[in-house]
Chain A
Amino acid sequence: MASNGIRDRVAIIGMGCTPFGEHWDQSVDDLLLSSSADALASAGLGIDDVDAFWVGTMGSGVSGLTLSRPLQLDYKPVTRIENYCATGSEAFRNACYAIASGAYDTAMAIGVEKLKDSGYSGLVTPNPTNDGSAIGIAAPAAFSYLAPAYANRYGLDAQELKDVITRIAWKNHKNGALNARAQFRKEVSCETIAAAPLVAGQLGVFDCSGVSDGSAAAIIVRAEDAHRYCPNPLYVKALSFVAGPASGPIDPDYDYTTFLEVVRSAEDAYRQAGVTNPRAQLAMAEVHDCFTPTELVLMEDLGFSERGLGWKDVLAGVFDLDGELPVNPDGGLKSFGHPIGASGLRMLFECWMQLRGEAGARQIPSVAAGKNLALTHNLGGRPGACVSFVAIVGSELG
């Protein structure tokens, strides 16, 4: 048994990302055409230069025809991928392996989701046929289980916990305000966040990620070929993915203050990349802040904070844009928006911008000072029953 990784064997040479938001005037096809064209232009390639495609979407299409039809691909291999909210990352991971294997020279990973056409509030996930005994709570409620459990375990009262999650929302909105592609481009005061109508448990409207439409894409080649296309590619240092046994909701040993899947995938990714102190070594991290308590718990699961102390680091500004380890500098799911299949690639898009010094007003200074690694974390499912993806990318080989 081994997770050997493919450190420095593949590189990203181009990326594209649509603005995320309520695209009432754009279809799934429009979004796919937009992000794929941007990614190709960024790499200086034409569509015919791409040998194989991985398209990730949770519910905006089925089969490879989701991509081949709108792009009128010339009888190319297209794999449609679904892995809950980690779908975009899964498209990227599988495309990377195809390149690393030598099967293809150039691959595209592309993710898309069109959530706003449904007319529903929040995310709707289709269920397999069932006996009706599974509880019908929505995603905010499932993640809100984390809040009282965390507060109870670490001795925070309800107000202290609310202050912590409010600050996470405040930070991500502040970052998103600097991002032209973000769904919400406005700073929101802590008072407004804390006073917003409740959605589930302690979570108000501002504690939930944006429901949006969008698409993002990456062009991948072997590392040794990267400089033929791009002077400053990003190298893939680690790709880790786990699907947990989903035993949290049936195992009394699970306490709803952690994602064991994230802990495992982070350990694997750090080993692949040779990262021993993520808080010090990473220039930035894009994490799956689907709901604010998720980001809090992730700070501990990803090893950025000591167990039980993540909330103090949040309040101390450690993860702010100008903090020790900026987290979600692009605004995250919270502010950038969360079109499911696109989100994992959107996270990589921010790494692409930041590590190449192209992030403008939200550029992280530590990159210029020599930090050249960035992490993306993408999660799908619910606490105790989820899939987790961690990638580490870097701007230097070795």
Chain B
Amino acid sequence: MSRGVLGYGVYVPYWRLDRSAIGAALGSGGGRGTRSVASYDEDSTSMAVEAGRAALGATPGVRPDQLWLSTTVPAYADKTNAVGVHAALRLDHSVLAADMAGSVRSGVAATLAGVRQGGPGATLVVTSDVRTGLPSSADERDGGDGAVAVLLGEGTPEAPVICELLGRASATTEFLDRWRTPGEPASRTWEDRFGEHAYVPLAEAAVTDALKAAGITIDEVDHLVVAGLHARAVGVVRARIGARKEALVDDFVSTIGNTGAAAPNLLLASALDRAAPAQTILQVVLADGADALVWRTTEALVAYRPTATVAELASSGRGGLPYTDFLTWRGFLDRDPPRRPDPERPMAPPGLRNESWKYAFVGNRCLACSAITLPPQRVCPKCRTVDRFEAIPMADRRATIVTYTIDRLAYSPSPPLVAAIIDFDGGGRFNVELTDCVAAEVAIGQRVEMTFRRLYTSPLGTVHNYFWKARPIRG
């Protein structure tokens, strides 16, 4: 049985920067449309969790055996970021979780590793990226933030393959187009026309070989997606590859932006959103060479419902983010902190003891009185029964705001901190930080859902503190 795509989930952050705001502030740069912006409390790991939740939620019955996380901006070096994603998604301890970090091409490799592996298990491939550049740069303007999770495997009656790989090819040549040494805040690129010179023939070669391997011609391609950070080369390849005009899939650059490592599978997802069964998708990626993958959708695609389509995600979100906030969130504008202590470093041993709570938001339900407690307690606060509990995952439960505050004193990477007491549907209460909200719009009775975030990075020891927040339910 051939392996293929079993499901997918896309995450695009809530905030949008109007590109015109860049030019308005700097007197140059900017442009038209919007780009998605990871909030101050998001990074490649937290967005990967959100995408993973979307994929697993839309694909019940699949529990992956492997998790590959690919990003150009890993939150940690020398520590596997995929393991945090693994914990937040409550994957089994037997699952191998590993990073394939570095460049956009690592994500292609992760996808291929997932689809080509031997054996029956499913692989969750998550590509996630936060794109920015120095103020006024093209990278800052054209970039976008987001994550995509793709489940790959053999398929089962309850989770059949919705898209299989017909053929693929690569073309690799060493050339200096884009680079960043570790620790640098932004990438550098060579002259634009040089990249076009190098990329276009590589793409043509990869596409020719992939089509040949798949046994089809370019005319038979129903959906063409071309991803890569070299916008000029991507545009030329899209136009010149010879695909039918109606096969061109929106690249979402004018709404979401170019999501880098996430872009190849974000565009594949958007093609799956719109594809009919038995159609062909050509996925081309320009990243230090070229890779071409030819996919064919199956009849099972008809019944597949993603958590949200890419088009829906592109048209949602909130514009009007001040450019100064964007710069602050990305670390290019250091603002005066409150006269409060720096946030504490989260401690490693309690983090291990409380893994399912801290990372997966799993509470306790009392076996005597059914009361739910967050965080888990050993003595039930309602009936005082001791040590008779079952674990109850709460991350996907919705809740209602009981009371709230806007804390202008507390430390926050983006003050003021907004907090609320929330009561979950079916029981359980938590004192939680809100995110993706405008303070003035928070109200008692508002409905919220949980989202995995990076609360802060402790100045002492530079530890990222990941945990859950609540955000208003929209739409």
Residues of A bordering B, CB below 8 Å: 119-122, 124, 127, 129-133, 135-138, 140-142, 144-146, 148-149, 152, 198-201, 245, 247, 249-252, 254-256
Contact = CB atoms under 8 A, between A and B. Distances in A.
Contacts of A132: 344-347, 351, 358, 455, 465, 467
A200 B354 contact: no
B329 interface: no
Interface in B374-432: 374-375, 377, 381-382, 402-411, 417, 419, 421, 423, 427-432
Given A133-B375, A138-B410, 8 more contacts: A132-B346, A135-B433, A149-B444, A198-B406, A200-B406, A247-B381, A250-B377, A251-B429
29 contacts: A119-B339, A121-B340, A129-B347, A130-B344, A130-B350, A131-B346, A131-B347, A131-B351, A131-B354, A132-B455, A135-B431, A136-B410, A137-B417, A138-B410, A140-B407, A141-B407, A141-B417, A141-B419, A149-B402, A199-B409, A200-B408, A201-B407, A247-B381, A249-B430, A250-B381, A250-B430, A251-B371, A252-B429, A254-B429
B344 A122 contact: no
Given A131-B346, A131-B351, A141-B410, A124 B341 contact: yes
A255 B381 CA distance: 15
A121 B430 contact: no
Contacts of B373: 250
A192 to B, nearest CB: 19
Contact of B427 (A137, A140, A149, A252): A252
Contact of A251 (B339, B345, B381): B381
Contacts of B381: 245, 247, 250-251
A131 B427 CA distance: 24
A252 B409 CA distance: 27
B429 A250 contact: yes
Q: Which of B374, B375, B410 has the most CB of A within 10 A?
A: B410
Contacts of B423: 252
B357 interface: yes
Nearest to B404: A148
B343 interface: yes
Given A121-B339, A249-B429, A250-B377, A137 B410 contact: yes
Q: Interface SS of chain A: helix, strand, loop or mixed?
A: loop
Contact of A198 (B350, B408, B433): B408
A119 B405 CA distance: 25
Identify which of B338, B374, B409, B444 gathers the most chain A CB atoms within 10 Å of its CB: B409
A266 B432 CA distance: 31
Nearest to B417: A137
Contact of A256 (B340, B402, B406): B402
B357 A131 contact: yes
Contacts of A137: 405, 407, 410, 417, 419, 431
A122 B409 contact: yes
B339 A120 contact: yes
B409 A141 contact: yes
A297 to B, nearest CB: 13
A124 B374 contact: no
Contacts of B428: 250, 252
A124 B338 CA distance: 13
A251 B358 contact: no
A255 B371 CA distance: 17
A138 B467 contact: no
Name which of A121, A127, A141, A146 has the most chain B CB atoms within 10 A of its CB: A141
A127 B409 contact: no
A152 B444 CA distance: 8
A255 B340 CA distance: 29
Contacts of B347: 129-132
A136 B409 contact: no
A256 B421 CA distance: 9
A97 B69 CA distance: 62
Nearest to A132: B346
A251 B405 contact: no
B406 to A, nearest CB: 6
Nearest to A143: B405
A119 to B, nearest CB: 7
B452 to A, nearest CB: 12
Nearest to A257: B403
